Amino acid sequence: MIFPTEKFSQIHTPFYYYDKSLLEQTLDTINAEAGKYEGYKVHYAVKANVDPTVLGIINGKGLGCDCVSGGEVERCLMSGFAPSKIVFAGVGKADWEIELALDANIACFNVESEPELEVIDSLARAKGKIANVALRVNPNVDAHTHKYITTGLSENKFGISMEMLDEVVDKALALKNINFIGLHFHIGSQLLEFEPFAMLCSRINDLQDKFEARGIALKTINVGGGLGVDYVNPDKNPIPDFATFFATYNKNIKLRPGQELHFELGRAVVCQCGSLISRVLYVKNGLNKKFVILDAGMSDLIRPALYGAHHNIENITSAETETETYDVVGPICESSDCFGTDEVLPLTHRGDLVALRSAGAYGQIMASNYNCRKIPASLVL
Ligand code: LLP
C-alpha cells in the first residue's frame, strides 16, 4: 500500500488511516460476487468499525447492517441506513435496546434464547407492534479459528442448541407479537478455510427439511459472517476471496423459492483498508535487544495483546537501506503492550511513522481510554 504520508502531518498520531478507494473496491467486489446469486443480501457487521465516514461509504454501496447493541443501532440510523436494512443480534439485549429497535422498526431481531423471545414479545405488545424474529441456532460446527472468536460450538453461550430448537420455535409461533421469519447462524470469525461454511450449509439443509416437514416456511436464512483476511500478506491479498465465499454457499445450500440468504460480514469488509499510524518516540538499546517505542499502544490496538494477533509493521517514512531487528512496543505499563518481537525494519529513528497494517476491523472500535489515553482519530482518504 502506498501511504499518502504528505497528508499525515495534519493529524496527531496515533490515528487510524482508511484507504477509501480500497474500501470502495472491496464493496464493489462484494456487490458483484453476491449479486451473481438470487436473494443474497449482505449486512455489514458494524461491530468491526463504526467510523461515520466508513459507515457512510458502506451505506452508499447499498449494504445493510448487522448490530449487536442499541448504540450500534443508533449509529447506523445516524449514518442513514434504512431501518428496513438493520438487523439486531446479541445474547444479552437490554430492554431499552429492544425498545429503541422496536421504535425504529428495524428489519429483524436475531434472538438467542427463549426468555429473550418472551421479553421482546411483551415489549412489542406494549407498543402495539409485531417484531420480526429470526432464531439464532448453534449449529455445532468447528470453525478452526481462535478460541475467543469461535462461536458455533455447542458449549458456547451463543444461540440455541439444535436439540432445544423445536421447543423455542413452538414458543415463537405461539407468541402473538412475534413474527417468526427465519434462522440465524454464525460459526466464528477469521475463517481461512471454506469447508466450515460448507458444513454449515449441510446443517442448514437438514434443518430446512425438518421445518418443511412441519409446514413452516422461512423467509430468511442468515449465515452470519466469518470470512477471514490475509494479515501476513495484505498487499498481495487486499480484497478477500468473496468469489469463492459466495460460490461455496451457492454450491452447498438449498434455498427454497423466494427465500433470502443473508450474510453479516465485518472483518472482510473493512480490515485491509485500515492501518494504525503511529510515530516512533524513542529507539532504546536494551542488553540484547533494540526497542522501537511507539506513541500507539494496546489502548489503540488491543488485538496483539488480547489474541496474540499479528499485524504487519512497516516503517513508512524511512529512507534507510540498512535494516535492524527490533521489538516494537507501545508506551503502556503492561508487558503485553507489544506489537511485534524481532521485527526486521529499516534503520528506525525518532519521528519516523510506522503503520500497523490490516487494522480496519476491530481496531479503532476496540480502543480504550486505559492510562487516560485518547481514542485515536480517523483519517479517511
Ligand atoms: N455476526 C455475528 C453474530 C458475529 O458475532 C460476528 C462477529 C459477525 C457477524 C462478524 O464476523 P466477521 O465477518 O467480522 O468475522 N474482536 C475479534 C472478532 C470478534 C468477532 C465477533 N463476532 C477480533 O478482533 O478478531
Residue in 325, 308, 271 with CA at minimum distance from that of residue 54: 271
What does the block give as the cell for 208?
430446512
Closest residue (by CA) to atom 19 of ligand 1?
A: 149
Write the DSSP string, 215-260: T---SEEE----B---SS-TTT-SS--HHHHHHHHHHH--PPTT-E
117 CA distance to ligand 1 middle (Å): 23
Contact 323, 344 (CB under 8 A): yes
Cβ neighbors of 227 (< 8 A, separation 6 or more) are 191, 240, 241, 242, 245, 265, 267, 268
Q: pTM for this structure?
A: 0.96
d(CA 239, CA 4): 20
Residue-wise pLDDT tens digits, 87-98: 999 999 999 999
Contact 336, 246 (CB under 8 A): no
pLDDT at 144: 65
What stretches in the chain show pLDDT beneath 70?
144-155
347 CA distance to ligand 1 middle (Å): 37
Cα–Cα distances in Å, from 338 out to 67, 142, 302, 305, 343? 31, 30, 10, 7, 11
288 CA distance to ligand 1 middle (Å): 39
189 CA distance to ligand 1 middle (Å): 5
Residue 120, burial from CB neighbour count under 10 angstroms (0-12, 13-18, 19+): buried
Mutate to test the pocket of ligand 1, among 54, 265, 267 (most ligand atoms within 8 A of CB): 267
Mean pLDDT of the chain: 96
pLDDT at 137: 96
| Closest atom of ligand 1 to CA, residue 136 | 3
d(CA 259, CA 217): 9
Residue 73, burial from CB neighbour count under 10 angstroms (0-12, 13-18, 19+): buried
| Closest atom of ligand 1 to CA, residue 110 | 3
* DSSP classification of residue 376: P
pLDDT at 156: 74
Residue-wise pLDDT tens digits, 25-63: 999 999 999 999 999 999 999 999 999 999 999 999 999
Q: What end-to-end distance do the CA atoms of the chain give, in Å?
A: 13
pLDDT at 58: 98
Enumerate the β-bridge partners of residue 44: 65, 265
51 CA distance to ligand 1 middle (Å): 17
Closest residue (by CA) to atom 7 of ligand 1?
A: 189
Residue-wise pLDDT tens digits, 107-152: 999 999 999 999 999 999 999 999 999 999 999 887 765 555 555 5
pLDDT at 154: 57
Q: Which residues line ligand 1 (CB under 6 A)?
A: 45, 48, 66, 89, 149, 151, 186, 189-190, 224-227, 264-268, 303, 362
Closest residue (by CA) to atom 22 of ligand 1?
A: 189
- The position carrying cell 508487558 is 335
149 CA distance to ligand 1 middle (Å): 7
d(CA 141, CA 74): 32
* DSSP classification of residue 122: H
pLDDT at 141: 87
Write the DSSP string, 282-319: EEEE-SS-EEEEES--TTT--HHHHH-----EEESS--
Mutate to test the pocket of ligand 1, among 47, 191, 272 (most ligand atoms within 8 A of CB): 47
pLDDT at 228: 98
Closest residue (by CA) to atom 24 of ligand 1?
A: 362
d(CA 329, CA 291): 7
